[in-house]
Structure 1
């Protein structure tokens, strides 16, 4: 393991916006579950999750754009989201945090109706059939999200994978979920959701790479309960 990665792991332990519970903490009753507003953010603002937050630039970008909301980036790779966590601390941002855990355990960390929105940004599309259940828009994951997403809560999927876009759109339509917005090319389309101007303005590291290679970026906004 490189020295830089070790240094990031070490700094994550002291950054005030990084939470790194163990699997046992999750399974035995996480102390912030249902209490993120009162005990961590110390306000009553809406909570927005970014699942698979990578370097954290989208969580930080959203937090800058919407100071009236609280954002939590979720990822298992702490050496990556260190970048976002450090930027937030250096800029005095108190409305963004990072939770290091497997997304498969996410429902253990949030209470019923505690989360207002979810962003899924450029996840692994898990194209192989045997990996189907690992797609973050698989029905099993949607059921997990229902456990903590408030009624009428919104999910956003932003991806370069036409496969995942099509898979998700097809499932949502077949299952009768409300699809608010769906775009096959957010940069090529003349119009897109006027309520999400940040959809184009905030870009992740991977989005920049994919766009540079000529890949189209797709987007779906939907409700799951």
Structure 2
């Protein structure tokens, strides 16, 4: 979906650099110092308008969360949600997550969330899928040895592709859920897309994998 241009976004981000941290590469290896605690760090790649991470930050004050979103027009909506919520364990990065190793050091992250990522259905775009092996390679570096990749999607083809990709990379599948909402997981926090798809009766898939 094309996002509406927000001419005030630059000024808003400048005024809220305590939430949307600029120059992420300069903070590589220092994220716990920025949060001012030693709590584990969970990141979401493609955080969108922030509903999922705000909900997670409320649910888990013992965890630090970082949301990464490349679209400036979208991340300002996420930042507004953070401000309104008052949570103090959530930061945002207006960055292209093409290589997480530029922003995080080895073993710095405890969990990576991939929620409703672009499926890039054409074969020639396979390398852009966030569960393609080159992305898994960087996840393995930044994740703690006990870290996890948690993936949710409504796209069955992408889900099946990702399970194969995880397996071929040698990852351990700890959860493969073919109908997430059927189990009524009380700890599941829905994204904006998830709410929309669930309301239409679409099945939501979830997997949890480790290296």
TM-score scaled to structure 2, two decimals?
Answer: 0.92
Q: What is residue 199 of structure 2 aligned with on the other side?
A: 212
More displaced 10-residue stretch of structure 1: 63-72 or 163-172: 163-172
Is the 2:114–2:150 contact (alpha carbons within 8 Å) kept by the matching residues of 1?
Answer: yes
TM-score scaled to structure 1, two decimals?
Answer: 0.86
Distance 2:209 2:99 in 1: 22
In the alignment, does 2:48 pair up with 1:54? yes
Is the 2:42–2:110 contact (alpha carbons within 8 Å) kept by the matching residues of 1?
Answer: yes
Q: CA deviation at 1:10?
A: 2.1
Q: What is residue 7 of structure 1 aligned with on the other side?
A: 8
Instruction: Classify the secondary structure of the residue corresponding to 1:142.
Output: helix
Is the 1:52–1:120 contact (alpha carbons within 8 Å) kept by the matching residues of 2?
Answer: yes
Q: What is residue 186 of structure 1 aligned with on the other side?
A: 180
Q: 1:17 aligns with which of 12, 16, 19?
A: 19
Q: CA deviation at 1:122?
A: 0.5
Is the 1:51–1:119 contact (alpha carbons within 8 Å) kept by the matching residues of 2?
Answer: yes
Q: What is residue 190 of structure 2 aligned with on the other side?
A: 203
Q: CA deviation at 1:86?
A: 1.8
Distance 1:223 1:157 in 2: 11
Is the 2:152–2:207 contact (alpha carbons within 8 Å) kept by the matching residues of 1?
Answer: yes
Is the 1:9–1:79 contact (alpha carbons within 8 Å) kept by the matching residues of 2?
Answer: no
Q: What is residue 33 of structure 1 aligned with on the other side?
A: 28
Instruction: Classify the secondary structure of the residue corresponding to 2:80.
Output: helix
- Residues 87-139 of structure 1, C-alpha deviations (whole Å, 9 max, x = no match): 22233321001111111032200011111100000000111001101110111
Instruction: Classify the secondary structure of the residue corresponding to 1:103.
Output: coil
- What pairs with 1:92-171 in structure 2 (closer than 5 Å)? 92-171=86-165
Q: Runs of at least 4 residues of structure 1 off by over 3 A? A: none
Q: CA deviation at 1:145?
A: 1.1
Is the 2:131–2:166 contact (alpha carbons within 8 Å) kept by the matching residues of 1?
Answer: no
The verdict on how the C-alpha distance between 1:9 and 1:207 changes in structure 2, with shifts beyond 3 A counting, is farther
The verdict on how the C-alpha distance between 1:205 and 1:14 changes in structure 2, with shifts beyond 3 A counting, is same
The verdict on how the C-alpha distance between 1:4 and 1:125 changes in structure 2, with shifts beyond 3 A counting, is closer
Q: Which runs of 5+ in 1 are unaligned?
A: none
Distance 2:28 2:169 in 1: 29
Q: Which runs of 5+ in 2 are unaligned?
A: none
